[in-house]
């Protein structure tokens, strides 16, 4: 298992290099420059050129990319163009808010998607199955930003039950989590239904029923355990999608997390901050997928045997 973990960690190197190259390329060729944005539209061109030279913005693209990678390996991700502070001194204090949103979102996705998917599978072609399928299709078709605005209109403006802005208490996180979690649960519902339908038709499930094993034991102990592997994969991918979704959700609900920081940095063309946020989230996503792969070993003995090899 240690050998497998080491291989997966080494795979992070080309992945992160590719992510850095793509984002670096996009940021380098977008309109605007940090000097003009930092000093204002009325600043003299000489001052703007001097600022761009000081931050190294006017150097060739490949030179900047190689220099960034070399410094990043040593732990130096640069200073923000806006605040002139180390990027992680601004990024890390915002991370707990983003992590809380994403964690609660994954909880909602699992608590809504998996039970409804199981219900839909064991009640195939019934009213419950049709209702869950329609519900999943509706959630999948709703854009997150539009759903977030509907939640604000209903629960904040009309009913006055929940706050729509800020992050002062857990109540402030309810609407953002629902805006991300309910649409995200649609895919888990459909995946759980499909894998459960395949699992409950297997020979070992029929054998268990023929031996008189109670139906709830057949479903929850035998069928579900084998149906969970692809669902866990989708939950892990949902974690990554939720990390990206916070960029929009935090902007809508005024939460000072990494997503909102990325928006501000992109608008200001603060390349070091954008790069730091991207590398941080990409690394976190890769580690989450590694944890998902390791969870397979605790669910499926066949996967554990491959790890032992």
Phi then psi for residue 264, to 5 deg, are: -60, -40
What DSSP letter does each residue of 185-218 carry, written as one string?
Answer: HHHHHHHHHHHHHHHTTSHHHHHHHHTT--HHHI
Q: What is d(CA 110, CA 48) in angstroms, rounded to the nearest whole number?
A: 51
User: What does the H/E/C string look like for 279-304?
Assistant: HHHHHHHHHHHHHHHHHHHHHCHHHH
Q: Is 28 exposed, middle or buried (0-12, 13-18, 19+ CB in 10 A)?
A: middle
Estimate to the nearest angstrom the gap between the alpha carbon of 243 and the chain centroid: 3
Compute the C-alpha angle 15/21/24, nearest 5°. 135
HSE of 232 in the Cβ direction (CA atoms, 13 Å)?
19
* Per-residue pLDDT at 145: 86
237 burial via Cβ count (<10 Å: 0-12, 13-18, 19+): middle
Instruction: Give CA–CA dist 268/238, Å, rounded.
Output: 29
The structure tokens 């944890």 sit at 291
Q: How far apart are CA 293 and CA 303, in angstroms?
A: 9
Q: Which residues of the chain have pLDDT under 70?
A: 1, 4, 297, 299-309
- The CATH classification number of 91-308 equals 1.10.3720.10
Dist. CA 282–CA 301, nearest whole Å: 30
Instruction: Give which of 103, 132, 137 is closest to 120, Cα–Cα.
Output: 132
Convert the pLDDT of each residue in 146-166 to its tens digit.
Answer: 899 999 999 998 888 888 888
Cα–Cα separations (whole angstroms), residue 189 to 11, 159, 221, 226: 31, 29, 19, 16
- Tell the burial category of 296 from Cβ atoms under 10 Å away from its Cβ (0-12, 13-18, 19+): middle
Q: How many angstroms separate the CA atoms of 159 and 243, rounded?
A: 29
Instruction: Classify residue 132 by burial, with Cβ atoms within 10 Å: 0-12, 13-18, 19+.
Output: buried
pLDDT of residue 175: 92
**Sequence spans of domains, the chain:** 2-73, 91-308
List CB contacts of 119: < 8 A, sequence separation 6 or more.
128, 129, 132
Distance CA 293, CA 9 (A): 13
pLDDT for the residue 105: 92
């Amino acid at each position: 298992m240690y050998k497998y973990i080491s291989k997966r960690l080494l795979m992070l190197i080309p992945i992160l290099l590719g992510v850095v190259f793509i984002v670096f390329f996009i940021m380098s060729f977008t309109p605007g420059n940090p000097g003009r944005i930092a000093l204002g539209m009325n600043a003299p061109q000489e001052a703007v050129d001097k600022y761009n030279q000081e931050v190294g913005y006017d150097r060739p693209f490949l030179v900047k990319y190689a220099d960034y990678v070399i410094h990043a390996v040593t732990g130096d991700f640069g200073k923000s163009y806006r605040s002139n502070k180390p990027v992680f001194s601004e990024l890390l204090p915002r991370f707990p808010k983003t992590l809380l949103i994403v964690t609660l979102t994954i909880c909602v996705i699992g608590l809504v998607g998996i039970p409804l998917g199981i219900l839909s599978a064991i009640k195939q072609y019934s009213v419950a199955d049709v209702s869950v399928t329609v519900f999943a299709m509706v959630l999948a078709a709703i854009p997150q930003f539009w759903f977030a605005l509907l939640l604000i209109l209903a629960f904040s403006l009309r009913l006055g039950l929940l706050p729509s802005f800020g992050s002062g208490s857990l109540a402030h996180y309810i609407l953002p989590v629902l805006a991300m979690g309910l649409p995200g649960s649609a895919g888990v519902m459909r995946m759980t239904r499909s894998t459960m339908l395949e699992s409950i038709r297997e020979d070992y499930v029929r054998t268990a029923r023929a031996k008189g094993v109670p139906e709830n034991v057949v479903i929850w102990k035998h069928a579900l355990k084998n149906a969970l592997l692809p669902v866990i994969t989708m939950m892990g991918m949902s974690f990554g999608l939720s990390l990206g979704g916070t960029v929009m959700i935090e902007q809508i609900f005024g939460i000072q997390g990494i997503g909102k920081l990325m928006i501000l940095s992109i608008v200001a063309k603060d390349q070091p901050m954008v790069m730091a946020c991207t590398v941080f989230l990409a690394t976190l996503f890769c580690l989450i997928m590694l944890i998902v792969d390791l969870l397979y070993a605790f669910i499926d003995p066949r996967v554990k045997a491959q790890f032992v090899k």
